A and B are shown apart, each in its own frame.
Chain A
C-alpha cells in the first residue's frame, strides 16, 4: 500500500460525458501527479500540482483539467469523453522536490462506451 488513494476504482461512461477522478496523496506529500496509461500510448505524464499550484504540464488534452485543493487532494476532470480516453489513470504523490520518489495510487480504470 503506497498511501495514495484514488476513487473510484472503475468508471464506465458514454462518449460526450464528463467525469471526475479523485486522488488523496500520502500524508505530508505536497506534490500530486496525474498519469494516463493506455495500451497504445503507454504510461504518460499529464500534469503536476505542488501545494495547490500547477507546476508542470505534460501531454494533457484541453478537454482535461485538474486542480489541487487546500487539503492537498486533487481531482482530474475529463470532459467531452471519447472512446480513446479509455485508460487507466494513475495519481502519484511526492514531497515535491526534484528526483524525489513518486508513490503511485492503485489507479482508476475508465471505460468510455
Chain B
C-alpha cells in the first residue's frame, strides 16, 4: 500500500497560488493519485484525480512528474473559503476504497 506524506499545515493569503506537494514513493504502476478537500464537520469532496503529467479542472491543477513519486496540487488564487484540509490519496488499481492520511490543513488569511 503506497503511503503518502504531505505537510501538516500551510498558510497563504487571499489571491495567492497555493501548491501542496505529496510524496508517494511506493506508488505502483497502475495506481492513481486523488485529492479530496474537507471542511470542518463536512464530508470530503473530490477535487481532482490524475495518473501522470498534468490534469486541470475548474478548481485545481494536478502535476505529476514522470517518476510519479510525488504530486503537486495547485490551487490558483485562493480565497478564504479555500481554508480546509486537503487529502492526497493513492487509489490502488482495481480497487475503489480510499485510505486517508492526516491531510494538509490550509489556512487562507485576508
Contacts and interface: CB of A to CB of B under 8 A. Distances in A.
Our verdict on whether A and B bind, yes or no, reads: yes
Interface residues of B, number: 23
Q: Which of A42, A43, A92, A98 has the most CB of B within 10 A?
A: A43
Contacts, number: 63
Contact of A56 (B34, B43, B44, B97): B97
B7 interface: no
B110 interface: no
Interface stretch (A11-19, A63-71, A78-86, A103-111): A103-111
Main SS class of interface, B: loop
Interface residues of A, number: 30
B96 A107 contact: no
Contacts of A100: 96
- The SS class assigned to the A binding surface is strand
A9 B17 CA distance: 35
A97 to B, nearest CB: 7
8 contacts: A43-B100, A45-B100, A48-B97, A90-B43, A96-B96, A99-B96, A102-B46, A105-B43
